Structure 1
Amino acid sequence: MAQSKPERPDLLNAVLDAAGGVDHFEQVEWIEVVANVSGAFWSKKGYPKRRLMTGYVDTKRPRVVFYNFGAHLDEPHLRWIWTPKHLSVERANGTVVLSRSDPSKHFEGHVLSTPWDDLDLLYFSGYAVWNYMVTPFCFAWPGMSTRELGEHTEGGGETWRVLEVTYPEDFATHCRVQKFYYDHQDRMRRLDYTVDVIQGSGTVAHYVYDEKTVDGIVFPTLRRALNVVDGRPTGWSMVLINFHKIAVKGPEVRPNL
């Protein structure tokens, strides 16, 4: 008599548990990251020499503060502050050097070859880093919607489960509907999206590697974004992000975010 297959747990719950658990992540107030950013994409936007930058990611609200940001404005000790609705670049004494409200509207009509200014770079980098640090735990937040799709067979024959995530309209992210791929241990291996701030950008296949567990929370430390051409990811990196440091902090220690 054929044995029935064991019932699988709900994919979202399995993914959250595998990443460290929602209850555990809720104790995290902010995350410090040090990342080296490179890849062909930055030259297209006018920033061919990205470098090591430091960011402080607020996990309770969408806000990131960067230092050593690697933009054209290169004064020492500048604070590059990202929120979805307002960007600000400040000196140590609080003087505002640059600012922009409703920054997403500044991308209207932008294509891949459209040069960016420093605040465009800040908006894109801010929402991207914030998303990467709060994923997958943000999937359990109010307004988020998830559903499991059919299995995906990756090159090399690996079979991954696929979670489709629909974000609220006011959530700052690459695009409203994204797909996340998970291996047999419910660990993320890839995500697919388009980039709303770049018209006609096409689908991006974004792979993650080299997981590190930091105070019980699992983070990928290497990210590689590839263009998808004819349904297949290309072999060269549009964006490569190497996290040299990820540190999580609770409410007892909080920077000036």
Structure 2
Amino acid sequence: MSDLVELAIEAHGGLERFSRFSSLTARLHQGGVLWGLKGKPTVLEDCHVRVDLTRERVSHWPFAPTRNHSVFTPDRVTIETPDGAVVEELDEPRTSFAGYEMETPWSDAQVAYFSGYTMWTYLTSPFLLKQPGVTSEEIEPWQENGEEWRRLRVVFPDTIATHSAVQTYYFDGSGLLVRHDYEVDIQGSNPAARYLIDPVQVQGITLPSKLRIYPRQPDNTPAPEPLIVSVDLSDYRFE
């Protein structure tokens, strides 16, 4: 049986090709109930993102209704004007979510932290499985929609900001990532299932053009509603 990590990485374009690039930008249209619950229904509804592929660093812009942008790293988040003046900052951002639940509002800097680590995790998968300290093991397959998907149980080190330390990745028969499960630790560890839809080829790398995230039920199936987050991605560009 072929190694699932290697199969997945090759199916998405190969590590050698992915390693040629230093950043990835995209346009996002985001929806779902999460943003309203956090008191930020439109702040990143239509925006752009730049993901650094060599380290965990991400920027979103604009933070509507302003032209401000974010600078996210695991240890510090800032909201800055187009001229680079800091208008909001948050050091050790993860600690600011202590005691938060699904309905707890967020500041712009907290939105930037959540959006930063999620898009870095999402847009570098499955290549991030080769990051130092990331470990994985194949577990029993999963049946869904008449298909059998192979699964990886992945454990992330503390040095990587992400949803939860333990996550599960699902791959179809060709090795493409089709589902991704985790607990959102910064909002009460609620379980979620993310679906990757309508893959596209971008400079030889396969990326999703749509993401849909639903609550994950105790039997490991997704709840049909509410739609927690939707993301439509376009205008991808590697540099």
1:234 aligns with 2:234: no
- The C-alpha deviation readout for 1:100-132, integer Å capped at 9, x for no partner, is 110000000001111111111110001001111
1:68 aligns with 2:76: no
| Alignment counterpart, residue 180 of structure 1, candidates 160, 164, 169 | 169
Runs of 4+ off more than 2 Å: none
- The C-alpha deviation readout for 1:119-175, integer Å capped at 9, x for no partner, is 111100010011111111110111110100011101x22100001111112210010
| Alpha-carbon distance in 2 for matches of 1:184, 1:75 | 44
1:212 aligns with 2:223: no
Aligned residue for 1:14, secondary structure, equals helix
Show the counterpart of 1:45.
Answer: 38
1:54–1:69: 8 Å Cα contact kept in structure 2? no
Aligned residue for 2:186, secondary structure, equals coil
| Alpha-carbon distance in 2 for matches of 1:88, 1:230 | 37
1:225 aligns with 2:216: no
Against the structure 1 CA distance between its residues 200 and 66, is the aligned structure 2 distance closer, same or farther, given a 3 Å change threshold? closer
The answer for unaligned runs of 5 or more in structure 2 is none
1:57 aligns with 2:51: yes
Show the counterpart of 1:114.
Answer: 104
1:30–1:57: 8 Å Cα contact kept in structure 2? yes
Against the structure 1 CA distance between its residues 227 and 235, is the aligned structure 2 distance closer, same or farther, given a 3 Å change threshold? same
Say how many residue pairs are matched: 236
| Alpha-carbon distance in 2 for matches of 1:81, 1:53 | 14
Aligned residue for 1:171, secondary structure, equals coil
Show the counterpart of 2:6.
Answer: 13
| Alpha-carbon distance in 1 for matches of 2:183, 2:39 | 21
1:163 aligns with 2:152: yes
The answer for unaligned runs of 5 or more in structure 1 is 1-7, 250-257
| Alpha-carbon distance in 2 for matches of 1:208, 1:215 | 19
- The C-alpha deviation readout for 1:15-59, integer Å capped at 9, x for no partner, is 110011111111011001100010011111112235210111110
Report the Cα offset of residue 91 of structure 1: 1.6
Show the counterpart of 1:255.
Answer: none
| Alignment counterpart, residue 17 of structure 2, candidates 24, 31, 34 | 24
| Alpha-carbon distance in 2 for matches of 1:228, 1:89 | 32
The TM-score, its normalising length taken from structure 1, stands at 0.89
Show the counterpart of 1:33.
Answer: 26
Aligned residue type for 2:217: V
Aligned residue type for 1:61: R
Show the counterpart of 1:5.
Answer: none
Counting only pairs closer than 5 Å after superposition, residues 131-146 of structure 1 correspond to structure 2 as: 131-146=121-136
Report the Cα offset of residue 246 of structure 1: 1.2
The structure with the larger Rg is: 1
Report the Cα offset of residue 230 of structure 1: 3.6
Aligned residue for 1:105, secondary structure, equals helix
Show the counterpart of 2:118.
Answer: 128
The TM-score, its normalising length taken from structure 2, stands at 0.95
1:151–1:162: 8 Å Cα contact kept in structure 2? yes
2:181–2:193: 8 Å Cα contact kept in structure 1? yes
Q: Pairwise CA RMSD of aligned residues?
A: 1.2
Aligned residue type for 1:117: S
| Alpha-carbon distance in 1 for matches of 2:126, 2:98 | 29
| Alpha-carbon distance in 2 for matches of 1:51, 1:200 | 24
Aligned residue for 1:197, secondary structure, equals helix
Report the Cα offset of residue 88 of structure 1: 1.0
| Alpha-carbon distance in 2 for matches of 1:158, 1:45 | 36
| Alpha-carbon distance in 2 for matches of 1:25, 1:200 | 31
